[in-house]
A and B are shown apart, each in its own frame.
Chain A
Amino acid sequence: MRLKIFNTFALTLLLSGCGGGGSSTDAVIDTPTVDTPTIPSTGSVTMSGTVTYDLVPSNSNSIGLDYDNIRREAVKGVPIDAVNSSNQSVASTITDSSGYYSFSVPNNTQMKIRVSAKMLQTSTPSWDVKVLDNTNSNALYVMEGALSSSGTADSQRNLNAASGWGGTSYTSSRTAAPFAVLDNAYHAIQKVLSANANTVFPPLVMNWSINNVSVSGDTSLGQITTSHYSDGNLFILGDADSDTDEYDDHVVTHEWGHYYEDKFSRSDSIGGPHGSEDRLEIRVALGEGWGNAFSGMALDDPVYFDTLGIAQSQGFNFNVESGTSDSKGWYSESSIQRILYDVYDSNDDGSDILSLGFAPIHQVFTGAEKTTPAFTSIFTFITALKDENAGDADTIDKMLLSENIAQITDIYGTGRINRASDYPYHELTLGTPLAIVISNADGSYNKLSNRQYVKFTIASSGTYTIKVEQSNGTNSDPDFYVFDTAPFIMVDSSDGTEAGVEEKSVPLAAGDYLLDVSDYKNVLNAELTVTIN
């Protein structure tokens, strides 16, 4: 016998649970017990099946989603529960990489299959990933089949999470979306496990909602700024007809790449807006180039796409393998993503004859990059990669050159040729003034010329006065941040509002330090003098 059931049971049950009187729709309610004929269970049967979700691919030109070619994709590595009419789990298992599950359940018992949008493994390797609705009590997304008797013989229950697409818009529950989001974490985890099979992944919450819109504010209202990572949480857009990211797998995986930086490596990126043609501050350029490159690695697809607009029909894309840009260089996320992807991939093209795979990249990010005394940048990454893969150093240098990046010989990137005047590092001797220039020539906040870094050494512990003063006027508002480099941590900062000058006495122990100097007012050319006494 073959039955196809579109399960409306749960919805009916919940609507009745809301009752009259204007009860809050986000109140937590217990599932009522349902009276069903009870036949004493005297044995067990095998229940099995396959769990899938509707994957909406991008159009063949990677612009917009292609709802005409929705395909079913396996829901991998998630918990499956057989839940009886008293809301008790009577059997549980995990789907395999094909979405298949099988377990022994009591016979002649009313039960439904519950599929949770989470992945949990507590033995090494371990992971703990959940997809929650940040606008609805942080509830875990699940889908359920219908209550039906397990019968007296083995049976199959196949479940699919539907996209909810009704032809021209979403017309029903977007059940597939949380499972699509989760699938990106599955692929990312697999990529890391390919480099280290015993990885312990810190917990990750993936927050997705149809209410998640592109504005900053209260995340419980869905005001998440944009799809992003923050402190163990991914927030993913779900705003239909404007910007949804649940099927933009590279967008989700890019953000997972920031989780990876945070939990396994180190990123000194200051964030902020960034684009493919921007000349970025070096920390941001590495972080964003890494995110883009990692999305290509984890998905084994170099075409990054992001869909937007009415019916998710528009968008843009770029290729982290074969793309190009007008602003190549050590400050370009585009250059960095191509270099990282070329180090990884097995496709030789142009100067890319390197195919190291993911393991050496993982080794650098989880090793030298975590403790480097310089700010994290393409300089620190390449220096460590060459140190650890000395036989490939010449090839790596040629790949750099194809992106207008001169040979990198140290973690500070000494010897820049391209945009050398914007090279950010400077050496300061205590008691000797150092002249630097900060500008908005490339944009504001996180662009190449917005920040300068000053290296200095403290020979003996004490309190030192750090002063940054404008020498060509008072229209700027200098700020500075002080970093101890071993271990690498910000130890102090000064961001007062006095025009043209910033000064603070800071207690410092003996060691090597970095000063990050910026101008809050972001004027065109602020000529600054730095002194430390």
Chain B
Amino acid sequence: MKIVKILCMSSLLISTSAMAFSTKVEKPAVVKGTSIGKYAKPGAPADISYKSQHVKIGDTSNVNIILTSSSTTGTMKVKVKVDKDLHEISNVKKHFSFDLSEGKKEYPLHLEVSADEDGLYYVRIQVAIKGQGMRAFAVPVYVGEAVLKTKKTAVEKTDKGETISVSAAEETITKE
């Protein structure tokens, strides 16, 4: 049975299966994903497919990216940004472009990265096609126990039991 099913809303998404986050990574596990067939907000007619390796701390993760576009004319400009705590072993240009053509459908990229700490890292790709907009993609790189690196705001409960995330307001108090 094929995965693709017709959906009645443009934005009902088929999510990839939940990622397993093991605390011990004995051997690289391949993480795959694609934007093809998924809802996309307005923007450049581009898609991404990727494979990256879930590796142990210090090990090299091979990240293979394929960009595609339904546009067959013009140029697709690409920018690559690697999370600051992710070491890039390969030396890939960070700004480059592809000439889009009728015969060529896939535009590949390969990076090698590693990290000194457990975490969920990202390689970010930005594409722009003149006259047709831009689009951002992120490729996850899982290292060790792949937890979110950003600090979360601790949550509280209101007196009605609602879970809230509290931020401080800028406040001006005037007493008469």
Which positions in A face B, CB cutoff 8 Å?
A: 1-11, 14-15, 17-18, 25-31, 81, 83, 87-89, 113-116, 133, 135-146, 148, 151, 153-162, 173, 175, 210-211, 213-219, 221-223, 225-231, 237, 239, 241-243, 245, 251, 254-255, 258, 261-262, 267-278, 284, 287-288, 291-292, 304, 306, 308-310, 314-316, 318, 333, 442-445, 447, 479, 481, 490, 493, 495-497, 516, 520
Contact = CB atoms under 8 A, between A and B. Distances in A.
Contact of B155 (A26, A215, A268, A275): A26
Contact of A144 (B18, B70, B168): B168
Contacts of A9: 168
Interface of B: 1-2, 4-13, 15-16, 18-19, 33-47, 70-71, 79, 81, 120, 122, 124, 126, 128, 131-140, 148, 150-160, 162-176
A455 B155 CA distance: 54
A14 B153 contact: yes
Contacts of A447: 70
A222 B148 contact: yes
A365 to B, nearest CB: 14
A158 B4 CA distance: 52
Contacts of A261: 9
A443 B158 CA distance: 51
A145 B169 contact: yes
Contacts of A88: 159
A495 B170 contact: no
Given A241-B81, A273-B47, A31 B156 contact: yes
Contact of B140 (A153, A215, A241): A215
Closest 6 CB pairs of A and B: A443-B70, A269-B10, A243-B136, A139-B165, A275-B45, A145-B171
Contacts, number: 339
B30 to A, nearest CB: 14
Given A242-B136, A308-B134, A25 B19 contact: no
A27 B154 contact: yes
A262 B7 CA distance: 12
Contacts of B135: 214
Interface residues of B, dominant DSSP: loop
A153 B153 contact: no
B2 A497 contact: yes
B42 A275 contact: yes
Contact of A14 (B1, B136, B156): B156
Contacts of A276: 42, 131-133
Contact of B152 (A1, A5, A136, A231): A136
Residue among B122, B155, B157 facing the most chain A CB atoms (10 A cut-off): B155
A231 B133 contact: no
Contact of A316 (B19, B133, B175): B133
A156 to B, nearest CB: 4
Contact of A216 (B2, B16, B163, B175): B16
Contacts of B151: 25
Given A113-B171, A267-B8, A270-B7, 9 more contacts: A30-B157, A215-B33, A223-B138, A230-B12, A267-B10, A269-B10, A271-B37, A443-B45, A443-B70
Nearest to A156: B174
Nearest to A290: B10
B168 A270 contact: no
A211 B120 CA distance: 11
Given A153-B176, A227-B41, A218 B19 contact: yes
